[in-house]
Amino acid sequence: MRAPDIDMSELETLFSTAVATNASEKGGTKRGSAISKPEIVHLVDMRRANNCEIMLTKIKMPLPDMISAILALDTSVLDNDQVENLIKFCPTNEEIEMLKNYNGNKEMLGKCEQFFLELMKVPRVESKLRVFAFRIAFSTQADELRTNLTTINDATKEVKESLKLRQIMQTILTLGNALNQGTARGSAVGFRLDSLLKLSDTRARNNKMTLMHYLCKLLAEKLPELLDFDKDLIHLEAASKIQLKLLAEEMQAINKGLEKVEQELAASVNDGAISVGFRKALKSFLDSAEAVVRSLISLYSEVGRNADSLAQYFGEDPARCPFEQVTSILVIFVNMFKKSRDENARTVEAEKKKMEKEKNVIHTPEPASAF
């Protein structure tokens, strides 16, 4: 048997559209079966979100581990820069409300939004981060303040206890009275501290030396043991670079920081289980920090009294001539004194060599004549 003849024209007319349609439907199903990747949902401003994600890549740890480190105040995991950056990227009230009102799949939120959600699990997270930052910086801050306060105390003590400086001041007074002999100023019992700066401005008639040079020359001849008086004043220059106003601000910042710690410790009582470890770590820090601050407050008060006493030691009013001005004048005086002392020494050495050279020339016999 053989197959019947098929009328191709009829067949195409009847079925070609259906075949094409089926093929089209078949191809369409294939394309439609490809599963499109769900898009990440961004709620936070894109620029802020991008900066936040960059910050998180630098910390390089899972968000739950980061939260644990924050609550443990673990300085071995997070450093000061990282904590400060975390503070910058704490969610605002507006961002918190936006995330709370989001009803979609939270797993599809961006990294920044996920980070914010983790932070939102911690009550007053920004406050906790700020006390964490204070805890990290506290030791360095307290040590630097103590060093500066001690430097001022040491410098004040050195100046007031230097017998060499006292004798030099007496010599300067004597010189001044001698120069002003016969005038109303010729029997002064003291002089203004800033008068020390005029010693290098007062020149001799021959213009070859200043009164400072003469003072150094006089001391070299009569009291050479006073020439190194600057060695008594080891901490003077360092103290002259310290401003009491800045120390007051640092002391105030430490006190305020400690108050914030106390406030957060009290507030965290109602946080529940999440803050148990945090409270324990913060209480431990607070106990040690309070002892340090008490000693700093005592030292700060002592420094205030000593700073005023330095001006009074020179007969000055601390209100008119504060500590910074006193030390600045003294440092300039010391440097001018050393400069003139060294210049005098070089002059003496040069004259000595000149005399020796002339002496050698005089004593050198002339060659004998052959005739």
175-183: long-range contacts at Cβ-Cβ below 8 A with a sequence spacing of 24 or more? 175/211, 175/214, 175/215, 175/218
Largest CA distance in the chain: 164
pLDDT of 250 higher than 80 = yes
pLDDT of 229 higher than 60 = yes
Q: Enumerate residues 6+ apart whose C-beta is below 8 A from 38.
A: 108
- pLDDT, residue 12, reads 62
- pLDDT, residue 228, reads 96
CATH of 163-232+330-355, one of 3.40.50.150, 1.20.58.2220, 3.40.50.620, 3.65.10.10: 1.20.58.2220
* Residue spans per domain, the chain: 46-121, 163-232+330-355
pLDDT of 29 higher than 80 = no
Confidence of residue 354 (pLDDT cuts 50, 70, 90): confident
CA dihedral angle for residue 39, residue 42, residue 45, residue 49, rounded to 10 degrees: -90
**Prediction pTM value:** 0.79
Query: Distance (Å, rounded) from C-alpha 136 to C-alpha 80?
Result: 6
Task: For the domain made up of 46-121, give the CATH fold.
Answer: Methane Monooxygenase Hydroxylase; Chain G, domain 1 (1.20.58)
Confidence of residue 162 (pLDDT cuts 50, 70, 90): very high
Mean pLDDT of 258-283: 95
Same fold yes or no, 46-121 and 163-232+330-355: yes
